[in-house]
Amino acid sequence: MQAADILKGDENAADNQTFSFRVHQHELSSSSEFQGTNFYVAAHPSDGGADVVKEFAVSRLSRDTEQFVGLTTQKALFNLSNERSASPL
């Protein structure tokens, strides 16, 4: 028998799930000084958009935590605009 903890992700995730969307790409950090200390995931490209995956389009889990941290900004500047728009990620 093996035990497991459910990692925390977005607040819309169902019981016993980390995210409310599928995860697509994932990678462990590979820099020599940080090797294996961070785990990065990206939301599946066909699962939603900014209002579904929100800041978790790209997210990171550090070795000593149980909570994913979103790395995607909610608003961004596009085409030299002075106004921030919703991020397409």
Residue-wise pLDDT for 45-89, tens only, equals 887 665 667 788 899 999 889 999 988 877 777 777 788 777 666
pLDDT tens-digit profile of 5-50? 888 998 889 998 999 889 998 898 887 777 778 999 998 888 766 5
* Residue 3 in this model has a pLDDT that exceeds 90: no
What residue segments make up the domains of the chain, in order of their start?
Answer: 1-73
Annotate 28-68 with DSSP letters as a single string: E--STTTTTTEEEEEE-TTS--HHHHGGGSEEEEETT-SB-
